[in-house]
Chains A and B, each alone.
Chain A
């Protein structure tokens, strides 16, 4: 408990420092000026989402291979947190896009792919809600999760080949060769803080799933004991009474 509180406080401080750095220390960008600072939030959210959803896919595969409950619980938790990161990324993207491009949304490759990703993992969560048997739910949602994850690069490829495109070019990978050092440092600070926060949220969400699983196991044990008690053979007293009469 104490360790948990210390970690939370340390992370809160890190996030505060990252926020301060993004708003006040990082230099102004040449064309977009102040609004560009959403980048320090927007891109780390995508990175966090990629990390978390990769954990989800790995968990889906691990469940199918090993059948250990922890993988199913981790898969479900990381899908939910992944959807949270994705939602944050989409919202910050729109908040960046409106002042800069003048529009809230455009069907360019990255935005389209991300929106499809969001829909796929919402479907995954819906699927889990609608299957009642736990083993079946774990297996079938794992299969769907693997299909969904495999679809992502295909969606990105399709939307890239499709003639559209308003999203700015990548800054770090494939973009301009030089980026201001202060900007880079602030960016990595924000990246680390946001990814760590998402991992902390994931850890808590996983803990909730684990506790629910424990509660379900206890319920099953109580029910089986009740059934055993009901199907126990009749007592000697009743048989004895009947026989004594004869």
Chain B
């Protein structure tokens, strides 16, 4: 593997980790929002 390929792969792998983390946070936000709607519904019933 050339130096450039090594560098590029390293860069992409680390950004991929940050991207996966951000996606996981966004998914969890979605789930909690649904949970809040359900709880608000339950409160008003």
Chains A and B are bound partners:
yes
Of the candidates B3, B15, B32, the one whose C-beta lies within 8 Å of that of A99 is B3
CB-contacts of B3-22 with A (<8 A):
3-4, 6-8, 10-11, 14-15, 17-18, 21-22
> Contact at A204–B10, with CB atoms within 8 Å?
no
- Tell me if A222 is interfacial: C-beta within 8 Å of chain B: yes
Does A207 contact B10, Cβ atoms closer than 8 Å? no
Is the beta-carbon distance between A218 and B36 smaller than 8 angstroms?
Answer: yes
Q: Which of A31-39, A56-64, A146-154 lies on the face that meets chain B?
A: A31-39
Q: How far is the CB of A202 from chain B (nearest CB, A)?
A: 10
Tell me if A69 counts as interface (CB < 8 A to partner B).
no
Q: Which of B4, B11, B25, B28 contacts A34 (CB 8 A)?
A: B4
Q: Contact: B25 with A222, CB < 8 Å? A: no
Minimum distance in angstroms from A97 CB to a CB of chain B: 12
Complex: how many Å from CA A35 to CA B26?
A: 34
Q: Can you identify 9 A-B contacts, CB atoms within 8 angstroms?
A: A23-B7, A23-B11, A35-B6, A38-B7, A41-B14, A95-B6, A208-B32, A218-B39, A222-B43
**A positions within 8 Å CB-CB of B:** 15, 19, 23, 33-35, 37-38, 41, 84, 87-88, 91-92, 95, 99, 197, 201, 204-205, 207-208, 211-212, 214-215, 218-219, 221-222, 225
